[in-house]
Chain A
Amino acid sequence: MKRDTLLSMLHDMLLARAFEERAAQEYTRGNIAGFLHLYPGEEAVAVGVLHGAEPNDYIVSTYREHVHALVRGVPAEKVMAELFGKRDGCSGGMGGSMHLFDQERRFMGGYGIVGETYPIAIGIGYSIAMQELPEAVICFFGDGAVNQGTFHESLNMAALWKLPVLFVCENNRYQIGTEIHRHSAMTEVYKRACGYRIPSEKVNGMDVLAVHQATRSALQRIREGTGPQFLEVETYRFRGHSMSDPGSYRPNVEVQAFKDEDPVTVVLEESIPDFPTESQLEALGRDNIVHLTGHMRQQGYLEMEDVTRMKGEISKLVDKAVDFALNSPEPDMHDAWRALYCNRGQEVLI
């Protein structure tokens, strides 16, 4: 893999973590309200999958989608401004944290109703297939969402009509506070896709390279006309379900075990002032960044200065995003009506 690709994946993982932790702070300060579902711990999924996609592929996401949007290339300031509900947000302040949209980047929205991403994705897939375009759709959802009726309806139609959709289950083992063993009769999610003859596999979601590799192959098969593909990516969220959830239902040892595999702390935490040595990395286990950085160092791709510089740039970027959001004006009612009637043109209704 190219050095630039690896570096930009590392960059996006670090940006993801920094952005989300900053969003949590801004929430505590009262700059962000409502529901805020954060992504720390799951970075390798968004980064692995989205770096495997082409710019003309479509992305459909859930309410935990800030990082999907960021990695897709939606500018951090537009995402932050949307969390703040401001006019310059990527949805003009009408969507908020759960409803980020960016038409230009084919970021087809974050959806707040569990199970809505499938029909949207197969609809976009239908449009691609009908016009025989070389594009694909990536559809994200959580492990809790696979028990919704639309999962089964949509997978059936996707397989029946060979729609170009990559289904990506971000299995973080919890649907809010209910653990997967208590919400699913079949806990190996990828096996459910077999019922619809959709090729599927389970991937280690703490290993960004594995996610990336699996995505590339799945998208390749889609472009060859094989029809929909399915990935179950095993991951973990370090925070609660949302800012209103302390996550107390999870045993500390479980959270700690996963934190030991944290994709990014090794690079971000102040307690590790220098980039870890090979032996420190090995001691940390099968961490994401360990994989990525280990690989990059072996190839002679990565120097300590690169990481330091990157961290500096990212923290400036996030500061700038917050400034931008703070300074962006509030939308007014006129903006709201315009958003509602955006497609009405000049037609005047009674």
Chain B
Amino acid sequence: MSEETPVWKALNLAMDAEMSSDDSVFTLGEDVGLYGGSYRVTQDLYARYGEWRVRDTPISEGSFTGLAVGAAMAGLRPVVEIMTVNFALLALDAIINMAAKIPFMSGGQFPMPLVVRMPGGVAKQLAAQHSQRLEHTLMNAAGLRIAVPATPQDAWWQLRQAIRSNEPIVLLEHELLYFSKGRLDTDLPPPPMHRATVRRPGKDLTIISYSHMANLALKAAQRLSSEGMDIEVIDLRSLRPIDWDCCVNSVRKTHHLLVVEEDCGFAGAGAEIVATLAERCFPDLDAPARRLAGLDMPTPYNGTLETASIPTTAAIMDTVRQMLVPGEIS
């Protein structure tokens, strides 16, 4: 099967596939059951699997995420949906102190087959408390893995892999991607969940990005090709661990590095990527590496300012031009 499918549907199919093949998989979260999920990811599952496996919860992020940790310790494979990443702040104790630490603190006795799915990112004028990404926070919790699917194919692959894995995995889903469509072939064998992918090969400059921003970077690269610039676009797919080999190989080839991220640049994924690549391939760089990131401010409600606070396709193109045509624009 290979057809145009929206991301939400790919996730929904992945949930269904895993729930039907393994009785220990269950999902819980606010409005995931009867209502079908805020972004339709759990649509129809309640009718199919009943309330014990598709559980509507009270608004108690800290405890229902912790509940999933306990259930995972007792042999189930929970998939938690936190309505948006913003509310995950209330569940950070369960995610960081519990899920990420228990396998280690127990000396390896307890597996942690836990998946926490969270929509997030800057959508459309949702204001500061509903427009964040928290990858910078989660990336620093040793013991957690973070997957950031940008396409329906990756959403399908990575959710299924995450459910089958025995490690605690956070799936950061971008709110703007749920209804974007792409090819989904459910028969294709998946690459390892943490493997980055070169979405577009090129020889002049490497853009490293992930999630929604990887799609913008790809668009920018396609447009820049008409200006004679051949840009390579890497979609990380995983923020912990990061596929450094893929990044290093690319920089060795293009000698130019730009990281594009929606999260604010301060102490974020881009900082980590630039620092590590500076250590690993400094002599290969022909120019300083750069980051294009969200501004270091809460997301404004005003639509114009909101757009101006995060990278756009045009901004990515501008930055690339500045890097490849020195002196052209300042």
Contact = CB atoms under 8 A, between A and B. Distances in A.
A153 B66 CA distance: 11
Interface string B49-91: 0001101011010111111111111111010000000000000
A57 to B, nearest CB: 12
A171 interface: no
Interface stretch (A37-45, A89-97, A226-234): A89-97
A65 to B, nearest CB: 13
Given A150-B62, A343-B112, A344-B166, A91 B105 contact: yes
Contacts of A58: 74
A124 B26 CA distance: 13
Contacts of B195: 350
Nearest to A151: B63
Contacts of B143: 340
Contacts of B107: 89-95, 101, 335, 339
Interface in B130-154: 142-143
Interface stretch (B96-104, B211-219, B252-260, B308-316): B96-104
A339 B108 contact: yes
A182 B70 CA distance: 32
Given A150-B66, A342-B111, A126 B102 contact: no
A324 to B, nearest CB: 16
Given A127-B75, A157-B60, A349-B194, A119 B69 contact: yes
Interface stretch (A47-55, A108-116, A238-246): A108-116
A122 B143 CA distance: 23
Given A95-B106, A156-B60, A347-B192, A127 B166 contact: no
Interface residues of B, number: 52
Contacts of B39: none
Nearest to A60: B70
A10 interface: no
A94 B106 contact: yes
A119 B65 CA distance: 8
Contact of A157 (B63, B69, B78, B97): B63
Given A127-B76, A130-B52, A340-B142, A150 B241 contact: no
Contacts of A118: 63, 66
Contacts of A156: 58, 60
Interface stretch (B176-184, B242-250, B295-303): B242-250
Chain A contact residues (Cβ within 8 angstroms of B): what range? 35 or more
A343 B167 contact: yes
B242 A350 contact: yes
Contacts of B192: 347
B93 interface: yes
Contacts of B113: 343
B108 A120 contact: no
A72 interface: no
A101 B112 CA distance: 14
A103 B106 contact: yes
B251 to A, nearest CB: 15
Nearest to B59: A153
A128 interface: yes
Cβ-closest 3 pairs across A and B: A123-B70, A119-B66, A92-B107
Given A118-B66, A120-B73, A128-B74, 4 more contacts: A127-B70, A149-B63, A342-B108, A343-B166
30 contacts: A91-B109, A94-B107, A95-B105, A95-B106, A108-B74, A111-B98, A116-B97, A118-B66, A119-B65, A119-B67, A119-B98, A120-B66, A123-B66, A123-B70, A126-B71, A127-B70, A127-B76, A129-B52, A130-B52, A153-B63, A156-B60, A335-B107, A339-B104, A339-B108, A340-B104, A342-B109, A343-B166, A344-B166, A350-B242, A350-B244
